[in-house]
Structure 1
């Protein structure tokens, strides 16, 4: 058995290293794509990187199963594998990622394995790696240089290899921003210092520098976005607002392409800069979403140990495809695909999974919630409310396994908890309602610009975040916008057509008549006129067709993750 243990351990570590090597190769392409304005290639590369993990795990599993034979579901065997694996990764600076790769491998190899402390890395954390200061992580700029020299040096240190639109003007715009935001509040001292991560964060059409300045006995974080259009590279703005920074790392945003030698050290730096974000969210943001899932689960277990409330059916209108529940004290919902769908829903469980997979690989443009997919997820039976237990048995019974003290759910998704938009509109005041319906329309249109048509656009399928952003979260009917046929409704001419109880014209599967949106999109009487006036383009099929045409021509429509009002040059296209 010893040889089999060594074979298994060696293969897991070898495939992990190959995965990281390929991950880093794809990440390293981002600067060239930015330099050459190859936006379609940038997106394709992002999707390719997202698929890597699953492919390497499948390959690793295939090799192991051929060798281990009878030990496949043997706990004693896997216990020794884990012990040996722990020994050989002990001094690695990315061992937390190696532990997650091991967890994924055993979960895909050992049949129906729920979380097991003895066989898996369950309670370890990202700080298992040393988080010492590292000169390779960031540039340092002492205050003695003066503001002008610091900004000029930052611009020199980050040369994108192409012409600037107006570099001198960029420098002065940054100097003015620092003076207006920081130097009006704090006076630099000999201890004042600025640090900027050496790694550039790439996403869509933008490149971001992330840094912090030690002033007034605390760190003041900042983000500098760069864009590159036909005029050259230019600084688009300088961001100091922690709420905007948090949104840039939001669960509704795609992951960054960013080079990182020691991920835990970058996460530690980001955690000090973007304090609103949890550790698992930061791992997600830098592309290690599988380890982000591990860190999320650890956070969930800690919360479970330190709380007493029961899991309950989620508030809002019950879905026709998903059963949704939550733990009131925890900011997450749990979504299970129902065993049976009531008409008019006509799809399979696998088709619903495919829709969620599509979203996981697509640019979410700040308007679709990220999810984590779990198999054999355990919940203590005594924490499940009677009403929820009955609902689970009625709707997803095929997904349930009961042990003496635990409910094991074969498959579920976790997603950030939000207030359903329909409930929010029932209780908020008029001003908040106006903002919400503006956001609702913006969400739909920004999804369209990313080639996503939501399908079911009822307000119950959208949520409101703590920052009052509206996010789409129901994916079973999404389609690519370019697959849809947007048309004006045929005009009724005869008596029979005018008074027909059902449409008298043929409607194909992908036919959409935006004029009809007016009837169902907003029901609240005092805010509906504002919505209809503010988003008139939503009801015009020609507008939708124009977006389709731009996408078909290969144009990538950039979704700014910060307010356009703070841009230095709002007239410059991305």
Structure 2
């Protein structure tokens, strides 16, 4: 251990703290640069470039942490610094954050660096930020040229139409709009259809976040309408009506619709935020009840989301008494899954060994989960939070769960005092397994779920994902009724698969055989065989063939593969296409056939209903 005089110890602590903060500032500059670049790519219609940018940004945080760790070890031999210096580092770091605009994220970066350097026995001591040290309330960028977190507009002065048009034009997008006056008219009509005539109160105003939210082929305007003591949330997606020409696609006025576009099954937004905590607080006003952890994650600050989620878990454990149990449902061959009934998440460990017919390794499974993290999830694949060295009180673990852990994943656990430490775990939002939902659902629910399942797999195809194991148990139903895939150990890129038709039987013996009479390569897929394990239930078969009869034809799968090989990227809509302005108000789009035609050719992604009532959409202002 190094031992320094007190004065020298303080100076070294300051130098180390400043080095760590410089590492974070470099990370956040790159993070913001990605959002600025996203605007340029959106304007240019460079969808492949946007996909690459989103993938690269996800890995950037870990790269900056590694850079900082290497610098601290090379210049300061950080691993051998004694406790007194580490305490000085944290105190100086806090001092450096007093006027910082991203203090909560900087604290998380500090923790990430420390946990790379220190043994986990230090994780809960005074050397890291177990709780936030700097308040994020009322942080604003007070530089004269800086844009505010949100802009306020007052329709009473210039009229609602002119105000809404100014809301759009203030984002200064380079391409022209096909017909902004028409689109604003549709926007006003949709608000009227949803809420009818309403009397403008003295405080009637519109608040709009100052940055656009970019994802897939859309840029979202996010805001809220204040009228009296009522607050109405809204999101307006901007899309390309045709190359180089923009249009307002629709307006989302229901809280449920916003929850879907900010859900755990979608990829992270690219959004430029000088003060991320202020953006999160704004978003919480229009999505009350949504955890901060999930909002930070959805805007691309997934490490901050992980940090807050873990704090939420610890807080929940201290205010609950139920036990972790093995998750209900069919047990998997690869993952051991458990849950805490009072907490809406599942915890997944990779087992130490996999029985036949599974032929995989731990490293391959980890790679599959990393693939999903970087891929465009399109609202159809659950996001995962990956943790190392998670300590849970043994007293909170059910005996049957402990037995499962000791039997199937002994290398992943160890006991430390009163805790069981899990070396590596994935955490996902808990959903109702689709197989259980289909068993217990009404006819209407089964039809909806079956249609959703087929839509989900078809959309995954278009995103170049072949699920591999398509059994219903590997899909879940969210609280919004959407079907989402969550078992990734067998996924492949569709472009890596060989789509094949089943050869004709050579004779009667082939026809009666329970085994394939033809050679099957490791990447061969046979869509005609999927009905064997998907259509066993009479109700499921009826609805499946009614909505997705083409699912079992090799032509469907090959067609999507061919489109991907040509570099084509389809349009995806995280809302029901019936509410798109070009569909809802077709009379306004006469002469804009290219835009209207887009609705019938693109992938449908059902979401919440098409109309909102004032009670459903309105949130009382606190």
What interval of TM-score do these two structures reach, taking the shorter chain for normalisation?
A: over 0.9
Within the alignment, does 1:563 sit opposite 2:571 as a pair? no
Query: C-alpha deviations, 1:312-362, integer Å up to 9, x for none?
Result: 111111111111111100011111111111111111111111100000000
Shift of 1:499: 3.2
Query: C-alpha deviations, 1:372-400, integer Å up to 9, x for none?
Result: 11011111111111111111111111111
Query: Structure 2 residue aligned with 1:61, among 43, 47, 69?
Result: 69
Partners of 2:141 and 2:274 within 8 A in 1 = no
Query: Structure 2 residue aligned with 1:206, among 214, 218, 226?
Result: 218
Within the alignment, does 1:14 sit opposite 2:22 as a pair? yes
> Which residue of structure 2 aligns with residue 142 of structure 1?
154
Query: C-alpha deviations, 1:232-263, integer Å up to 9, x for none?
Result: 10011011011011000000001111111000
> Which residue of structure 1 aligns with residue 483 of structure 2?
470
Distance 1:104 1:25 in 2: 22
Distance 1:409 1:383 in 2: 14
Shift of 1:445: 0.7
SS at match of 1:29: helix
Shift of the 68–402 alpha-carbon distance from structure 1 to 2, 3 Å rule, reads farther
Single out whichever of 125-134 and 399-408 deviates more from structure 2. Answer: 125-134
- Map of 1:224-235 to 2, 5 A cutoff? 224-230=236-242, 232-235=245-248
Single out whichever of 453-462 and 270-279 deviates more from structure 2. Answer: 270-279
Shift of 1:156: 2.5
Within the alignment, does 1:158 sit opposite 2:171 as a pair? yes
Shift of the 73–321 alpha-carbon distance from structure 1 to 2, 3 Å rule, reads farther
Shift of the 350–114 alpha-carbon distance from structure 1 to 2, 3 Å rule, reads farther
> Which residue of structure 1 aligns with residue 358 of structure 2?
345
> Which residue of structure 1 aligns with residue 109 of structure 2?
101
> Which residue of structure 2 aligns with residue 309 of structure 1?
322
Shift of 1:538: 1.1
Single out whichever of 238-247 and 150-159 deviates more from structure 2. Answer: 150-159
Single out whichever of 409-418 and 5-14 deviates more from structure 2. Answer: 5-14
> Which residue of structure 2 aligns with residue 30 of structure 1?
38
Query: Structure 2 residue aligned with 1:450, among 450, 459, 463?
Result: 463
Shift of 1:141: 1.3
Unaligned residue ranges in structure 1 (runs of 5+):
none
SS at match of 1:527: helix
Shift of 1:528: 1.6
Distance 2:136 2:238 in 1: 34
Shift of 1:370: 0.4
Distance 1:173 1:214 in 2: 20
Distance 2:541 2:504 in 1: 25
Shift of 1:8: 2.6
- Map of 1:174-193 to 2, 5 A cutoff? 174-184=187-197, 186-193=198-205
Shift of 1:276: 4.5
Partners of 2:140 and 2:275 within 8 A in 1 = no
Q: How many residues align?
A: 573
Partners of 2:446 and 2:539 within 8 A in 1 = no
- Map of 1:235-246 to 2, 5 A cutoff? 235-246=248-259
Unaligned residue ranges in structure 2 (runs of 5+):
584-595, 603-622
Shift of the 311–125 alpha-carbon distance from structure 1 to 2, 3 Å rule, reads farther
Query: Structure 1 residue aligned with 2:232, among 204, 211, 220?
Result: 220
SS at match of 1:128: coil
Shift of 1:79: 2.8
Distance 2:302 2:343 in 1: 20
- Give the TM-score of the pair, scaled to structure 1: 0.96
> Which residue of structure 2 aligns with residue 85 of structure 1?
93
Shift of the 114–553 alpha-carbon distance from structure 1 to 2, 3 Å rule, reads farther
Single out whichever of 245-254 and 23-32 deviates more from structure 2. Answer: 23-32
Distance 2:548 2:392 in 1: 44
Within the alignment, does 1:367 sit opposite 2:358 as a pair? no
Shift of 1:508: 0.1
Distance 2:434 2:406 in 1: 28
